[in-house]
Amino acid sequence: MQNCPQCKIELRIGSSHYEVAGDKSASTPTQLYRITKKVCRNPQCASFEQVVETVKTPIEIGEF
Ligand SMILES: [Zn+2]
């Protein structure tokens, strides 16, 4: 888990959703990604409730 660059408190997951890439072309395999946005949870911090980090994790289709 990453920490906020400003206040050094551990970030919390603000939201996550899925994204599909590569389904427009037959030569590109379809790839699913999980997009996780991490926000600062420190009310005293300038980045409070703002997205500090976005993590893009590839997901194997076989996991479903
Ligand atoms: Zn912070």
**What are the residue ranges spanned by the domains of the chain?**
12-63
CA of 57 to the centre of ligand 1 (A): 23
* Protein residues with C-beta less than 5 angstroms from the ion ligand 1: 4, 6-7, 40, 42, 45, 47
Contact by Cβ (8 Å): 50, 40: yes
The pLDDT, as a whole number, for residue 44 is 97
**Helix, strand, coil share (%) of the chain residues, nearest 5:** 5, 50, 45
In this prediction, residue 64 has a pLDDT band, given cuts at 50, 70 and 90, of: low
CA of 37 to the centre of ligand 1 (A): 14
CA of 41 to the centre of ligand 1 (A): 7
Rounded to whole angstroms, how far apart are CA atoms 47 and 22?
A: 33
pLDDT in tens, 37-61: 999 999 999 999 999 999 999 998 7
pTM (whole model) above 0.95? no
Rounded to whole angstroms, how far apart are CA atoms 51 and 13?
A: 9
Rounded to whole angstroms, how far apart are CA atoms 15 and 12?
A: 9
Rounded to whole angstroms, how far apart are CA atoms 17 and 2?
A: 19
